[in-house]
Chain A
Amino acid sequence: MNTNGWDKASISAIAQELKDQPGALMVILRRIQDELGWIPQPSVPLIADALNLSRAEVHGVISFYHDFRDHPPGRHVLRLCRAESCQAMGAVALARHVKDRLGIDFGQTTADGRITLDAVYCLGNCACSPAITMDDDIYGRVSPAKIDKLLESLE
């Protein structure tokens, strides 16, 4: 995961392999994002050709879902919930802490390419607000100290 390297042949191969699945466009986009961590723009024409869609239609779907990235992310993705419940439980301060510590804003990646910080709006974990995810894992009742520990544990 999180490789910036990609080539047209492997994207075409993914598109060809999955093009007959139901809802093929989403299946292909998710696979590419899973394998590369992002969806390079030059893959749009390749996917469009495989599915007999226009480039505009493919771009429309990619841009609809904020989870699909058009730039490579850092090695780890930290998503911080900013929705109502988490805000009520200290997410604003938590966000300020994380931003200060990493020296980046939402949507940015640290200069060393280690961490990308994203804002999300409800992780469905409101009972344990404030909530975050680090890569594929979810954490509840996150305090600045807890997040510091988590960040230190990453390579």
Chain B
Amino acid sequence: MPKVTINGKELDAPAGINLIQAAEMLGMEIPHYCYHPALTVVGNCRMCLVEVEKAPKLQIACNTQVSDGMVVHTNSERARAAQQAVLEFLLINHPIDCPVCDQAGECKLQDYYMDYDRQPSRFPLGKKNKKGKAIDIGSDVMLDQERCILCARCTRFLDEVTHTSELAIFERGDHNRIDTYPGRKLNNKYAGNIIDICPVGALTEKDFRFRMRVWYMHRTPSVCAGCERGCAIDIYENHGRIYRYKPRHNPLVNGYWMCDEGRHSFTNLQTERRITRALYQSDGRLVPETFSAGLRRAAGAIRKCGEANGARAIGALVGAQATNEEIFALKSFMNDVIGSDVIGGMSYSPPGSSGDDDLLIRANKNPNTRGLSAQGIALDGLDTLAQEVSSGRLKMLIALRADACTALGEAEFIKRFGPLDYLLVFDTDVNETAQMANQVIPIAAYPEIEGTFTNFQGVVQRLHRAFDPPGEAKSAIEAITDLSMLLDGVERPQAADRIFAEMAAREAAFAGLEYEKLGHNGLKLNV
């Protein structure tokens, strides 16, 4: 391993890495704009100039590989002079519209100005080059050519990752600008990523523009539930309202990226359809009541059905939107509290949704299908449970995040499950199935809970609670354990880590996994 020294600190660096990466391993940042670890190195911004001993000129760190005995200074007088000069160049024509720029607060131009420049401008505002502002370039991306520093990250992403090359740099010199070909727009399913990698406010998100200042938002690591890939994300939220998702680097799952559909999927969680109180069916209408009244009513129905028809007359249907812990809690509830092993799973993707592609998107639009199977729950629950109903054995169904009615269509749902005496639904929304239910218990959506999803590759990743569920809704696990408490008086753990530990002890696929060790990237299942 080559030994390099950066600012007096020594590092045994892996061969082949560049100086930006080596500095990072030492906990130091070499300022950079155009370099991005997932894109080719172009060395065009010159922000990363450093002094390498024995080299006559300053070197760009992004394109300098470590070699044995290399001694690097990022803070020397020459290096700092270069950093300041580069920033002055970059700012010559910059409009400095930070007060109305969405990027303010997470802008590398602002950050580096404060860290490396801090000199008043020698270029009067009135002399700045005028270019296009607020240009809608499609796919929810807005372009401001004046703010662009021409680092070419966006064009490289579109050339190298999506291979669509919709953007290019036109003209030259001072007239250089990023743009689409006249009359054309961005046209790929991953365009939002260029907003994330743009180091300045030249590319902003149309939906997010002017909605929220970045410093007012809290960031919570989580997982996208848009498909079975389960891209690692950060949820940005303020007072229980999500403003954006951004991809979180996870080499096991999504690298640095996420798809546009997933990026915007949080809007589905913040609709009028969210359930905030328990609901019971009365004269064909859903009537709200308190959460605990709803649970008491549900417990009464379970007791009655069990006494009249036996425990196996009660079955459960669980959707692949549920977390591993929720699935386990429901399974334990059915086995240990009710005494029934009638459990089916479902994993439904709406027709017309995007199919598998060669980057991230998966045709299966459920985040936890693999987790369901890993706990031995078959995915043909809509068929097997329907047979139980038609044979007259099954009288009551408990559906957890399982919108069977939407999956089957209303007529088919009524044909299959109409004969049930009682339908108990745990869900976040008044979906089609909830509308048919005798009793609906409101539960938290995935940004509102702790837990894990298992993606299609078998990577188990953690979700974190970004904020509280709306109204009286509780996490599905709390709802289920509260219900079991009403039925048998036994207190059961509700914390995701406790349930995970039990699951790891009882489900072979999860054996050996520890909740706390899942870390940021998650761990793979054993099978």
Residues of A within 8 A of B (CB): 44, 53-57, 59-60, 63-64
The 4 A-B residue pairs whose C-beta atoms are closest, nearest first, are A54-B165, A60-B168, A56-B168, A55-B181
Distance A44 CA – B168 CA, assembled complex (angstroms): 14
Nearest-Cβ distance from residue B332 to partner chain A, whole angstroms: 55
A44-B181, A54-B181 known; A59-B170 Cβ under 8 A = yes
Q: Which residues on A sit within 8 Å (CB–CB) of B166? A: 54, 56
Residues of chain B in range 137-190 having any CB-CB distance to chain A below 8 Å: 164-172, 179-182, 184
Residues of chain B in range 425-441 having any CB-CB distance to chain A below 8 Å: none
A44-B181, A54-B181, A56-B180 known; A63-B164 Cβ under 8 A = no
**27 A–B contact pairs at CB < 8 A?**
A44-B181, A54-B164, A54-B165, A54-B166, A54-B181, A55-B181, A55-B184, A56-B165, A56-B166, A56-B167, A56-B168, A56-B179, A56-B180, A56-B181, A56-B184, A57-B168, A59-B168, A59-B181, A59-B182, A60-B168, A60-B170, A63-B170, A63-B171, A63-B172, A64-B170, A64-B171, A64-B172
Q: Which residues on A sit within 8 Å (CB–CB) of B182? A: 59
A45: nearest chain-B partner, CB-CB: B181
A60: nearest chain-B partner, CB-CB: B168
Q: Which residues on A sit within 8 Å (CB–CB) of B164? A: 54
From A53, A54, A55, A56, name the one whose CB has the most chain B CB atoms within 10 angstroms: A56
Chain A interface mostly: helix
Nearest-Cβ distance from residue B66 to partner chain A, whole angstroms: 33
Which one of B168, B169, B179 lies within 8 Å of A54 (CB-CB)? Answer: B168
B171: nearest chain-A partner, CB-CB: A63
Distance A53 CA – B169 CA, assembled complex (angstroms): 14
Residue tally, chain B, CB below 8 Å to A: 14
Q: Which residues on A sit within 8 Å (CB–CB) of B165? A: 53-54, 56-57
Q: Which residues on B sit within 8 Å (CB–CB) of A44? A: 181
Nearest-Cβ distance from residue B172 to partner chain A, whole angstroms: 5
B163: nearest chain-A partner, CB-CB: A54
Distance A44 CA – B165 CA, assembled complex (angstroms): 14
Distance A53 CA – B158 CA, assembled complex (angstroms): 12
Nearest-Cβ distance from residue A69 to partner chain B, whole angstroms: 14
Residues of chain B in range 183-234 having any CB-CB distance to chain A below 8 Å: 184
Q: Which residues on B sit within 8 Å (CB–CB) of A59? A: 168, 170, 181-182
B165: nearest chain-A partner, CB-CB: A54
Distance A54 CA – B167 CA, assembled complex (angstroms): 9
Q: Which residues on A sit within 8 Å (CB–CB) of B171? A: 63-64
Nearest-Cβ distance from residue A53 to partner chain B, whole angstroms: 7
Distance A44 CA – B167 CA, assembled complex (angstroms): 15
Q: Which residues on A sit within 8 Å (CB–CB) of B180? A: 56
Q: Which residues on B sit within 8 Å (CB–CB) of A57? A: 165, 168
Q: Which residues on B sit within 8 Å (CB–CB) of A63? A: 170-172
Q: Which residues on A sit within 8 Å (CB–CB) of B184? A: 55-56
Distance A2 CA – B182 CA, assembled complex (angstroms): 26
Q: Which residues on B sit within 8 Å (CB–CB) of A60? A: 168-170
Nearest-Cβ distance from residue A10 to partner chain B, whole angstroms: 22
Q: Which residues on B sit within 8 Å (CB–CB) of A56? A: 165-168, 179-181, 184
Nearest-Cβ distance from residue B418 to partner chain A, whole angstroms: 54
Nearest-Cβ distance from residue A70 to partner chain B, whole angstroms: 11
Distance A56 CA – B170 CA, assembled complex (angstroms): 8
Distance A44 CA – B184 CA, assembled complex (angstroms): 13
A61: nearest chain-B partner, CB-CB: B168
Nearest-Cβ distance from residue A77 to partner chain B, whole angstroms: 21
Q: Which residues on A sit within 8 Å (CB–CB) of B167? A: 56
Distance A57 CA – B168 CA, assembled complex (angstroms): 6
A48: nearest chain-B partner, CB-CB: B181
Q: Which residues on A sit within 8 Å (CB–CB) of B181? A: 44, 54-56, 59
A56: nearest chain-B partner, CB-CB: B168
Distance A7 CA – B166 CA, assembled complex (angstroms): 26
B179: nearest chain-A partner, CB-CB: A56
Nearest-Cβ distance from residue B138 to partner chain A, whole angstroms: 12
Nearest-Cβ distance from residue B484 to partner chain A, whole angstroms: 59
Distance A55 CA – B168 CA, assembled complex (angstroms): 9
Nearest-Cβ distance from residue B194 to partner chain A, whole angstroms: 13
Interface membership of chain B positions 232-268, coded 1 if the CB is closer than 8 angstroms to chain A and 0 otherwise: 0000000000000000000000000000000000000
B175: nearest chain-A partner, CB-CB: A63
Q: Which residues on B sit within 8 Å (CB–CB) of A55? A: 181, 184
Distance A107 CA – B170 CA, assembled complex (angstroms): 19
Nearest-Cβ distance from residue A5 to partner chain B, whole angstroms: 23
Q: Which residues on A sit within 8 Å (CB–CB) of B172? A: 63-64
Q: Which residues on B sit within 8 Å (CB–CB) of A54? A: 164-166, 168, 181
Distance A63 CA – B164 CA, assembled complex (angstroms): 20
Nearest-Cβ distance from residue B366 to partner chain A, whole angstroms: 35
Q: Which residues on A sit within 8 Å (CB–CB) of B170? A: 59-60, 63-64
Distance A127 CA – B312 CA, assembled complex (angstroms): 102
Distance A116 CA – B166 CA, assembled complex (angstroms): 33
Nearest-Cβ distance from residue A106 to partner chain B, whole angstroms: 16
Distance A64 CA – B169 CA, assembled complex (angstroms): 9
Nearest-Cβ distance from residue A62 to partner chain B, whole angstroms: 9
Distance A56 CA – B163 CA, assembled complex (angstroms): 13
Q: Which residues on A sit within 8 Å (CB–CB) of B168? A: 54, 56-57, 59-60
Distance A23 CA – B170 CA, assembled complex (angstroms): 19
B180: nearest chain-A partner, CB-CB: A56
Distance A57 CA – B167 CA, assembled complex (angstroms): 8
B169: nearest chain-A partner, CB-CB: A60
Distance A64 CA – B165 CA, assembled complex (angstroms): 17
Distance A53 CA – B181 CA, assembled complex (angstroms): 12
Nearest-Cβ distance from residue A139 to partner chain B, whole angstroms: 27
Q: Which residues on B sit within 8 Å (CB–CB) of A64? A: 170-172
Nearest-Cβ distance from residue A89 to partner chain B, whole angstroms: 25
Distance A54 CA – B164 CA, assembled complex (angstroms): 7
Distance A101 CA – B235 CA, assembled complex (angstroms): 67
Distance A63 CA – B181 CA, assembled complex (angstroms): 11
A55: nearest chain-B partner, CB-CB: B181
Nearest-Cβ distance from residue A98 to partner chain B, whole angstroms: 25
